[in-house]
Amino acid sequence: MRTYRIRTTALAAATAGLALALTACGGSDTAGGAATKPGASKGADQPASSPAGEGGSSAPAAGKGTGSGTGTPAKAGSGTGSGSGSGAKGTGDTVDDSYAYTHPCSAKNLTVKVTSQQGLPATVRVITVTNNGSTTCGLDYFPTVGFSAKGATLGVQATAPEGLGGAPAYPMRPGATAYAALDLNPSAGDGPVADEVSILADREHMPNADGVSLPLAKPGSVVKPKIGLYRTGARESLSTI
């Protein structure tokens, strides 16, 4: 069992540096396409094309998505964790979960999106991370998320649950998607309005340069934002906040 505890002070101190580094990545309203940097996915919070399936399905988790940002390699999660424990011919044990525990995901093999989904609170966005690689890999328990408004960083970072433990990584099988619910304003307070999020899929194993900045089609007020753990569906992730 690995015990993972969030250092709130360290996260707060890293906020400004992360946000500045990630803002340089830029954002795009267009879907698909490989990013200019390894692992850099760009996408907007645009209407999703399919319902969100909880637990194991590759569709978004909470009914039909009202928004879907798309990008290539790098941040945002919601798992569609698929798979049996056995690998395809020639892959050996490289698709087993145990392989993920010692092989962190590479940003160049990840696609990141940010979406809005029907059935979730209006303050919630959903980050998805898809493994485009041919082997299983491991992600940190949650993505790191900062916020910007009109090109300027807000100096705010979403906080994650504390006192985490369990497997050494969140396993991502080939083709799987991980979901992380992002609540911009859990208390419905008054705060600055963010129109862009900066996302790093795995703070433990990726440099800030692997982060991406994704525009929000639906800007929202940001007050003490929270990020959920990577899960196989958006609702499941939201329940961890």
Residue 57 lies in a domain: no
What is the structure's pLDDT at 213? 97
pTM for this prediction: 0.66
CB 184 within 8 A of CB 125: yes
Assess whether pLDDT exceeds 60 at residue 188.
Answer: yes
Assess whether pLDDT exceeds 60 at residue 84.
Answer: no
Residue 219 lies in a domain: yes
Q: What mean pLDDT do residues 129-150 have? A: 97
What is the structure's pLDDT at 21? 39
DSSP string, 22-87: HHTT---SS--S--SSTT---------SSEEPSSS-SS-SSEEBS-----SSS----------SSP
Residue 27 lies in a domain: yes
What is the pLDDT confidence band of residue 135, given thresholds at 50, 70 and 90?
very high
Domain that holds residue 30: 2-50+62-238
What is the pLDDT confidence band of residue 93, given thresholds at 50, 70 and 90?
confident
What is the structure's pLDDT at 62? 34
Residue 56 lies in a domain: no
Torsion of CA 226, 229, 230, 236, to 10 degrees: -90
Q: Which residues of 191-219 are buried (b: 16+ CB within 10 A; e: fewer)?
A: beebbbbbbbbbbebbebebbbbbbbbeb
Measured CA to CA, the distance from residue 79 to residue 41 in angstroms comes to 17
Query: Strands, DSSP E only, in 65-157?
Result: 110-115, 124-131, 137-139, 144-149, 152-157
What is the structure's pLDDT at 217? 87
Measured CA to CA, the distance from residue 237 to residue 241 in angstroms comes to 7
Structure-model confidence comparison of residues 205 and 85, the more confident one: 205
What is the structure's pLDDT at 14? 39
The helix (H) or strand (E) run that includes residue 120 is none
Assess whether pLDDT exceeds 80 at residue 160.
Answer: yes
Quick check: helix, strand or coil at residue 93? coil
Residue 193 lies in a domain: yes
Assess whether pLDDT exceeds 80 at residue 9.
Answer: no
Residue 147 lies in a domain: yes
Q: What mean pLDDT do residues 45-60 have? A: 36
Q: Domain tally for the chain?
A: 1
The helix (H) or strand (E) run that includes residue 234 is helix 234-238
Percentages helix, strand, coil for the chain (3-state, rounded to 5) are 15, 30, 55
What is the structure's pLDDT at 45? 57
Residue 210 lies in a domain: yes
Residue 55 lies in a domain: no
CB 170 within 8 A of CB 223: no
CB 195 within 8 A of CB 18: no
What is the structure's pLDDT at 159? 97
Q: What mean pLDDT is reported for the chain?
A: 74
What is the structure's pLDDT at 166? 87
133: which 2 tokens?
Answer: 């690689």
Structure-model confidence comparison of residues 79 and 223, the more confident one: 223
Quickly count: other Cβ atoms within 10 Å of residue 83's Cβ. 18
